[in-house]
Every structure is written in structure tokens, then in C-alpha cells.
């Protein structure tokens, strides 16, 4: 292809020079078309080379309608490909931004979750310290709200023992109670 790329500038036949340049433009366009799916940047380079070849053909033969048409066609194709690449790049950037935001959000949530147990531990520690301080500050003989003295607790336990139902008493009552016979037999 390198030999064909160098369109002879000193050729005496302008028609042949125009045809060679036109054919090189077509070849470059087809190569670009084949590369478009796998390597769009390479395709852009090949399209640019095709445009240069078509310009050369139009420079030698200004009336060449095919070279002019192909030149305009490849220009549009190249503009469309550039636009497509820009859109893809924009979408990739937006996707990357979304992923970064999601990651930052997850990191923030983890940080908050890790800090919450620390906060709870601090609160519990503070409560325990307050309780210890209150217990130390209160005289030994005084009772606090909701607490019983030793005497009250002992009296309550004794009362509960008296009301307990003992299994041996239940068995005696059941054994002593006989089954009543019906008064009449029908």
C-alpha cells in the first residue's frame, strides 16, 4: 500500500493520477470501515487518509464527480464516528461518576455503621459511670426509687413461700378426694 499511497506527482497523465488517488481513497475508506468496530481511532485515521486521497484526485481532476461525492460521504462518515466516540466517552465518564458516587456512598454508610457501635459503647460507658457515681453518692442506708430494703425483700420472700403450692400437698388432696357415686341409678 505504501507504493500506492505515493501518487506520482510528475505523471504526465492527470487522468491516471486522479484514478490512482481515487482508488487509494476507496481502499483507505474500506480499511477504515473494517476497523470501525474494533478500533474506532484507527478508523478515523484511515478516513482522514481517504479524504486526503480524494482531495488529491479532485485537485488533479476537478470535474471528477465520484471523487467529490466520496469525499463528502467520508467527511460525513468521519463526523458521525467522531460524534459517536464523544457520546461513548461521555457515557463512560457518566458511568464512572455514578460508580464513584455509589462507592463514596457505600464508604460513608460503612463509616457510619462502624461509628454507631462506638457511639453506643460510649453512651453505655457514660450511663455506667453515672450509675456508679450515684451509687457512691447515696448513703448506704437510703433506698433509691424502685429499690427495696433488705427487710422488705425478706418479708416478700416469706409471703411467697407461704402461698406456694407444694406437690406433696396436691397429691394428698387428690388421693383423699374420692369419686362420688351417683345418687340414683337409672
Please list the ranges in the chain whose pLDDT falls under 50: 3-4
Q: pTM of this prediction?
A: 0.52
Closest CA to 70 of 111, 15, 98, 28: 28
H/E stretch holding 56 reads: helix 40-60
Cell 497523465 sits at which residue? 13
**Domain segments of the chain: what residues?**
2-98
User: Cα separation of 67 and 54, whole Å?
Assistant: 5
Residue pair 58/68 in contact by the 8 Å Cβ criterion: yes
How buried is residue 163: exposed, middle or buried, by Cβ count under 10 Å (0-12/13-18/19+)? exposed
Chain segment 6-30, per-residue pLDDT in tens: 555 556 788 899 999 999 999 999 9
Chain segment 131-152, per-residue pLDDT in tens: 777 766 655 555 566 788 888 8
Q: Which residues contact 71 (CB under 8 A, 6 or more apart)?
A: 25, 51, 54, 55, 58
Amino acid at each position: 500500500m505504501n507504493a500506492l499511497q505515493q501518487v506520482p506527482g510528475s505523471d504526465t497523465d492527470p487522468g491516471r493520477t486522479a484514478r490512482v488517488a481515487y482508488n487509494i481513497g476507496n481502499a483507505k475508506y474500506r480499511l477504515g470501515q473494517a476497523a470501525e468496530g474494533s478500533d474506532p481511532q484507527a478508523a478515523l485515521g484511515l478516513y482522514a487518509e481517504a479524504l486526503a486521497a480524494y482531495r488529491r484526485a479532485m485537485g488533479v481532476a476537478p470535474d471528477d464527480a465520484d471523487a467529490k461525492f466520496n469525499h463528502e460521504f467520508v467527511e460525513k462518515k468521519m463526523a458521525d464516528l467522531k460524534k459517536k466516540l464523544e457520546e461513548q466517552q461521555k457515557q463512560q465518564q457518566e458511568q464512572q461518576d455514578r460508580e464513584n458516587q455509589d462507592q463514596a456512598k457505600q464508604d460513608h454508610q460503612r463509616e457510619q455503621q462502624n461509628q454507631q457501635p462506638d457511639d453506643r459503647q460510649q453512651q453505655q460507658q457514660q450511663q455506667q459511670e453515672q450509675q456508679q457515681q450515684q451509687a457512691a453518692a447515696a448513703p448506704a442506708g437510703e433506698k433509691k426509687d424502685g429499690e427495696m430494703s433488705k427487710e422488705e425483700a425478706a418479708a416478700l420472700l416469706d409471703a411467697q413461700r407461704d402461698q406456694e403450692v407444694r406437690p406433696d400437698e396436691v397429691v394428698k388432696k387428690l388421693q383423699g378426694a374420692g369419686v362420688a357415686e351417683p345418687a340414683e341409678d337409672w
